[in-house]
Chains A and B, each alone.
Chain A
């Protein structure tokens, strides 16, 4: 059973008052004495060699303290795993927006003025923008020097068959087994889907403040993994890790994007060159053109099905547009892993996935809320509906027949997956008759999350005073409050007795940082361990002060999945193509809820995030040039765009987190796009195989499908 008590009382955010009173200081709020401001010169061309850089006029600009180019700092490269992105370009630029020079000056305006005075001569190289084209034998090679690239773990990596491949992951059954499995199928269906680049859309852009005190390099930045940032800065700059201190407390939105450091490195070199604190905050133009948006993808799915609608074989070929650098990806195989989850909710006996990420002369791809999985679930759950359509089966019934775990139930009881799916269907009154232009759609998925390592120090100052010390940055999801509630519950004291203290990396225990929906699983578990042990110690011999330090690790192989389903009813205006979501239901099998308001916020916010990705978000890129310069052009959904949404928590399966909690950070957004697309198909007979499901795309499809007069 999952535990409802002691978490039934909705939480009050511990850091809430600091935020609503404006006292919480985000990276951009720091202006230490003597601070210098940064502006960078960006490449205006997608692919070129640099033949000359002239910085004299910039250096002579009033207020300017340093102008750096690749020639000054050398060929220094960084990346979350593969270090292929230069801090400043040396000999070659590979995307529009790549940093070529950096200025530190007394004011941001002076820095920008100096940037305007830097002259650069470029010798254009042939660019390549289409990933498929980039994989042809005569395509321009973006990184001829790739063999020498280092990884963050040290050493180089094995080169792939084509130099324009960032990553090439093959998993599942071997080709012969797959062939046999497909042969056993009565029918085989194949469909191709496309999804665009999308931006995380946080309000706070990337930024960093770096300064030196003697040999110690201090960093405050928007990176959500302070310890990882510290080791990366050490690896990239050669500065000893023990002499780098990162203190990131408040982050103004993440959505996957704040694991990728960009400004920290350039600030390091400018701070070292000037001896002053150096502050860089990206403009939204820089954000949209260079901060690691979601990868665009082309996904071809093939599924073999028996006459009775049972999936017997499934293969996926996913090609991600990686952009000019692989630096934004954290995993060693350099692919957005969620691409494997094309059929995550189903039991398919034979599967094979190939995920490739390809270098192109466009903005480098990064992580965004369930990387790869958003693309995969849209493709997979649209594919399943298409199969149902062709088999003449109810899409709900086809899903039921193939759900994971269904065969393990002997007594006929519904599995969690079945319950999730059924509740979603019931929530939109699946079988009701609807007027023309209206329809319902559904999507189901299964998500794993939570792997990683981290620790906390728990200190008892008195019988009713405890401190928890953590190095975690809170990107808005409620980390601090979650830690306090877990500690209070395990110690058997009131939450008001707990103070959570965020400390810099020099003081706090190691923590892998926010990402992969791990924080509650890992830091919650570490807090639970510490509190349980401390309680025992105090019961045996009460004495103060006393502290314990505990670490927790969630292994990658841990069975930490949760099922989710989204159902919607839509109305389509066939004269304009406009989709209105009339109502929506999000059903989640999410275990014990520790922070009820944040949990709901993650699921509702996740739905809104998915709604944007489904209906309106596309980062427009033409010949490598990002065509949106602000959130006025790149539109996100706002409150009036949200449909009435019912969130349903089901199941009593315990999660692997503290008290049976499960991860929900990257959960609520996954099923929205396919559910809407499936509903549109049932409402209009028109099927879209790409995102976003814009009004114009629906209008075109409806117009084309209409019989000619």
Chain B
């Protein structure tokens, strides 16, 4: 690895100022579980590293009755997994966070890092997309809010600009009665990135889908909401053929690459199987 200059700002303004001053040579370090591996492998060679750990305003989970949950960017995945607030309000997020690597890594990895790193196999982004979460980004010209569903541009690439930092993620108050779940398909070892993973949230009223949200990770360069599959559910009952019909739509909505975790075709097929299984599970849970 190459040596770098290490900066420890204590405010968001200071961090943004450093990013502006240092330009292209600077990268932001959150938990370091991805960046430091890339640096060690020589895949990233930053000259300047701006560490956000000392920025107090980026830490912590906040809740307001009208706003839902707000996670500071430095909130660790372990906090999301274990927070009573999250488990009570948006249990699917705790479930998805639980599936990330090991406790040691979850104690270090952050929600901000897992979004800005933009690895399409991450576990949390599809569940944030199901929740219509919004990312708050701050730069020299102020702050803006971007739907998580719109923030990914490609492999390891997001709309967060070179002089911006992701400040927080807001999860709006979930729809009343929405039931969420996450299915991470791990055909090799249980300690792995997913071959494909599905996050879903369904709201059933009188045995019909009033609302449905499905997001897939590992199905291409970015995690995606499968709106066509969602449309196949809304207004319909929960018969197996309805669930299968929605799942059948999913393979056409994704564009997975072939790699050590499976060929493109296999991932497409598994996205279908996993979507159907997750929908069945959520319907069964709703009935119970």
Contacts and interface: CB of A to CB of B under 8 A. Distances in A.
Interface in A593-645: 615-616, 620, 627-630, 632-633, 635-638, 640-641
Contacts of A616: 188-189
Nearest to B186: A578
Given A113-B2, A635-B192, A699-B266, A628 B260 contact: yes
Nearest to B266: A696
B228 to A, nearest CB: 22
Contacts of B191: 635, 638, 640-641
Nearest to A611: B189
Contacts of A695: 187-188
A575 interface: yes
Interface in B246-288: 260, 262-263, 266, 269-270, 273
A286 to B, nearest CB: 11
Interface in B1-43: 1-3, 37, 41-42
Interface in A74-111: 109
A169 interface: no
Nearest to A700: B266
A402 to B, nearest CB: 35
Contacts of B37: 630, 632
B185 interface: yes
B190 interface: yes
Q: Is the interface of A mostly helix, strand, loop or mixed?
A: loop
Given A633-B260, A699-B269, A694 B2 contact: no
A696 B261 CA distance: 9
A630 B38 CA distance: 11
A699 B2 CA distance: 44
B38 to A, nearest CB: 11
A285 interface: yes
A641 B269 contact: no
B190 A112 contact: no
B270 A694 contact: no
Q: Is the interface of B mostly helix, strand, loop or mixed?
A: loop
Contacts of B41: 283, 285, 629-630
Contacts of A575: 273
A641 B41 CA distance: 27
A14 to B, nearest CB: 30
B189 A637 contact: yes
Given A576-B270, A629-B41, A696 B190 contact: no
B174 to A, nearest CB: 30
Contact of A641 (B189, B260, B263, B273): B189
B188 to A, nearest CB: 4
Contacts of B1: 109, 112
Interface in B164-203: 185, 187-192
Contacts of A632: 37
Contacts of A112: 1-2, 42
A215 B181 CA distance: 68
Interface in A563-588: 575-578
A626 to B, nearest CB: 12
Contacts of A627: 260
A106 to B, nearest CB: 12
Contacts of B188: 615-616, 635, 694-695
A629 B1 CA distance: 15
Contacts of A636: 189
A109 B47 CA distance: 13
Given A576-B185, A641-B190, A109 B273 contact: no
7 contacts: A109-B3, A578-B187, A615-B188, A630-B41, A694-B187, A696-B262, A699-B269
Instruction: Report the 4 A-B pairs with minimum CB-CB distance, sorted nearest first.
Output: A695-B187, A616-B188, A638-B191, A696-B266
Interface of B: 1-3, 37, 41-42, 185, 187-192, 260, 262-263, 266, 269-270, 273
Given A627-B260, A635-B260, 16 more contacts: A109-B1, A575-B273, A576-B185, A576-B270, A616-B188, A620-B260, A632-B37, A633-B260, A635-B189, A635-B191, A636-B189, A638-B190, A638-B191, A640-B190, A699-B266, A700-B266
Interface of A: 109, 112-113, 283, 285, 575-578, 615-616, 620, 627-630, 632-633, 635-638, 640-641, 694-696, 699-700
